[in-house]
Chain A
Amino acid sequence: EVQLVESGGGLVKPGGSLRLSCAASGFTFTKAWMSWVRQAPGKGLEWIGRIKSNADGGTTDYAASVKGRLSVSRDDSKNTLYLQMNSLKTEDTGMYYCTTDPAHINDFWGQGTLVTVSS
């Protein structure tokens, strides 16, 4: 059974940092390009970043709204995807989902982890 399980969300003050994790199982994580997608409360979906497989260079791309503050990384030895979030703003509040990159035929999503940025 495929599972993507996010963790690490919570309440953080503006300017603070948080690291989200996404533990993958049930598919070949090492070959997968992975993305993070977020959703502000009551709003639509926003793609925020992607990391290629290490075999494809392990490079990253980001949305302009998060570039320089959020960064995606992976540890294939742990089958885990990360989202390091620095200099957090109130507008970063929302549900954060990890997902296989849309370029893949398979479509896997985690259940999401909630990040609240508030003083």
Chain B
Amino acid sequence: DIQMTQSPSSLSASVGDRVTITCRASQGLRNDFGWYQQKPGKAPKRLVYTVSSLQNGVPSRFSGSGSGTEFTLTISSLQPEDFATYYCLQHNTYPYTFGQGTKLEIK
């Protein structure tokens, strides 16, 4: 199975901060990779697909980048509604695997 190592596992930041979350894959993924946001008690929502494409309706302060085995999600200027848990997902190889999550909290 492809292992997805996500870091950090938690992060405290302030409104207006720039934040970066990283996922490293145990093998190359091509562009079969995305980022998800989940708020408490809600279903996940995809923010980014194929590494860097923004899902419809997702604010432009979110961006994804990377290639091969290392991928990043950047939030350029944190807003109050961005405090949530973020997950990466590889769907290059079965079984699909999620990162363990990054909980983004208000400082």
Contact = CB atoms under 8 A, between A and B. Distances in A.
B44 A61 contact: no
A62 B97 CA distance: 11
B49 A46 contact: no
Interface size classification for chain A: 20 to 34
Contacts, number: 54
Report the interface size class on chain B: 20 to 34
A71 interface: no
Interface string A8-40: 000000000000000000000000000101000
Interface of B: 1, 32, 34, 36, 38, 43-46, 49, 55, 87, 89, 91, 94-101
Given A45-B44, A107-B46, 5 more contacts: A44-B101, A47-B89, A99-B43, A102-B89, A103-B91
